[in-house]
Amino acid sequence: MGITKMQADLYCGNCEKNTLHEVTYLGENIEKITCMDCEAYLEISEKLAYTNYAAEMFTRIATKPVRMTKEINDDLSKFLYSIPFRVVTKPYRMIREFKQFKKL
């Protein structure tokens, strides 16, 4: 799960007009919407954000065997070559992802 930022033309209640907004996604869920003109923002509650993060994490864990099986079937040698590095670095990547999530 990553953090993605996109821009969209939305109506700002503070500016009372359509303005450019930055929409921050955490995975597939909107985390924050910020007006680029007045910098007013709408933020999803921390509890809801953690709930969505946990649900998405569970889905990722539950689907991992299927995704790994697909990798094995697609290219066994590439899978065998990359798996030792991935096993070692995965905890660090997960910690970095969680720290990035907490910064929002």
**What pLDDT digit, counting tens, does each position of 26-58 carry?**
777 788 999 999 999 988 777 777 887 888 888
Percent of the chain with pLDDT over 70: 97
pLDDT of amino acid 1: 59
Domain that holds residue 49: 3-103
Report which residue type is found at 46. Answer: E
- Beta strand 29-35 pairing with 41-43: antiparallel
Whether 49 contacts 24, CB under 8 Å: no
Q: d(Cα 61, Cα 59) in Å, to the nearest integer?
A: 5
Question: Taking the model in full, what pTM does it have?
Answer: 0.54
| Number of domains comprising the chain | 1
> Any long-range contacts for 90-98 (C-beta under 8 Å, 24+ apart)?
97/1, 97/2
